[in-house]
Amino acid sequence: MRSFETMKQEIDAHYPLYINGEWVEGEGGRMDVACPANGEKLCAVSAASSGDVDRAVRAARAAFPAWRSLPLPRRYDALMEIHGRIVRNMHRLCVAESLETGRPLPVSENMLTMGREHFPYFAALIRSGEDGTNSESCGMRVMVIREPIGVVGAVCAWNVPLLLDFWKLAPALAAGNCVVLKPSSFTPVGTMEFMKLIDGVLPPGVLNVVNGRGSITGQALLEHPGIDKLTFTGSTSVGMSVGLAAARRVIPATLELGGKSAGIYFADMDEQDLSRAVDVIASGALVNSGQVCAMQSRVLVEDPLYDTLVERVAERLRSAGVGAPWREGMQMGPVANREQMNSILEYVSIGRQEGARLVTGGERLTQGELASGFYIAPTLFADVDNAMRIAQEEIFGPVLSFIRFRDEQDAIRIANDSRYGLSGGVFTGDLRKALRVAEAVRTGTMRINGAAGRTMGGSAFGGYKASGIGRECYRTTLDAFSQLKTIAFPY
């Protein structure tokens, strides 16, 4: 039987920084990392000062010439070796992530399975040879080649840390860049366990990890003159600061930011599709405790189906197992930390004040061992107007807002009435209607009738509007980590 203590034994008590292929103590002291399932200390990590960040960037710059010049077959082999080590050590990585995020182990396994596939995907792309030549008039030949940008500064969020690490590391390294990675100060453990696994696979300096607070370590990374590109996943407000830092230095930035996605449910579904719709809606609140940027937290339901769907989803949420990751059969764990819990509960209060009807949930769970963690009951609001704050602002927790619509055009109008455009979905028995709606909603991803939400390599992920700039997980991601050079010569 799993327990907190037995799982905790599988991680280290302290993790230094990883700079230039060596484990080094940071100049910024140590930070404690807590488990959100019970509030207890997991471990400590070294915090990087601005001087540590400078050493990491200098190491990456020194390693860049040799790494960019490495023959493609050898770079391919390195990426495949990283993939193999992840596969062989999945349990240890899943334990680390579940302890620091509080999510059930099967959810962590699913996340890492999706994430690890980006290494073979981008490894295959660099072996496919996309450089090209063409002829111009007057006896001129033009050759277009791909070159790496240089040193990438990568900053990742706390909700799915290793998945986000892999999204950035696989294409950046495949393209021939060196990387300085800063994990979230809330969830650095999985990243450091990953670095232990791959220690020695890459030449020193190619991949460096600096932990620390965003205000010190993160800011030093954003402002460092040795960084040639920034890539960030997190909130829109912080993403704007990252984008401004890149603009001030005229370097590129990839920003994967917030969302307030709409799932659209028409009344023409048969019972089989309706049952699947209930599963999809409920899982949005339960998976990772609703702390997923692509979560379809706005549930748009056609009038004739509205009351039925509200009650069926509410019943599913009430029966969900909520508990610690070491408990078998749990569908949802805690939210990430006390600050996030308080923010979510404040939004619940706002929803009530705005006049939405709280159907289920909305409170902190404190029975038994849950009292020491940051647990919130899966929450469903009905009779929500799309103008309400709970329908417009990203709550990032297990909170669903059910909104009525009249017809197809009304659904599209409501779905697009948002500053975000990251993801979304549509359920209907009419495929032509589904395709019309999917094309009309201004969002980066639309899933029809519960199409799997797996972000494997080959599925472009990113958003419109305030949801960010650029796409991850797709072949064009290599372009975001590359410079294209044209060489013209006579023949």
Cβ neighbours around 201 below 10 Å, total: 16
Sign of CA dihedral 199, 215, 419, 314: positive
Q: How far apart are CA 411 and CA 166, in angstroms?
A: 35
Q: How far apart are CA 440 and CA 426, in angstroms?
A: 11
**In Å, what is the CA distance from 187 to each residue of 112, 179, 331, 483, 484?**
15, 19, 21, 32, 35
Q: How far apart are CA 378 and CA 133, in angstroms?
A: 56
Beta strand 30-34 with 41-46 is: antiparallel
Q: How far apart are CA 95 and CA 85, in angstroms?
A: 16
Q: How far apart are CA 223 and CA 194, in angstroms?
A: 26
- Nearest by Cα to 362 from 374, 348, 375: 348
Sign of CA dihedral 82, 206, 243, 342: positive
**Which residue in 293, 302, 408, 473 is the catalytic one?**
293
Is there a contact between 365 and 323 (Cβ–Cβ < 8 Å)? no
* Known catalytic membership, residue 256: yes
> Which residues have a Cβ under 8 Å from the Cβ of 413 and sit 6 or more positions away?
none
Q: Across 272-414, where does the E strand assignment appear? A: 298-302, 357-360, 379-382, 399-405
Q: How far apart are CA 186 and CA 441, in angstroms?
A: 34
* Known catalytic membership, residue 439: no
Burial 207-223 (b: 16+ CB within 10 A, else e): bbbbbbebebbbbbbbe
**Which residue in 256, 302, 394, 408 is the catalytic one?**
256
Is there a contact between 229 and 273 (Cβ–Cβ < 8 Å)? no
Distance of alpha carbon 397 from the chain centroid? 14
Residues taking part in catalysis? 256, 293
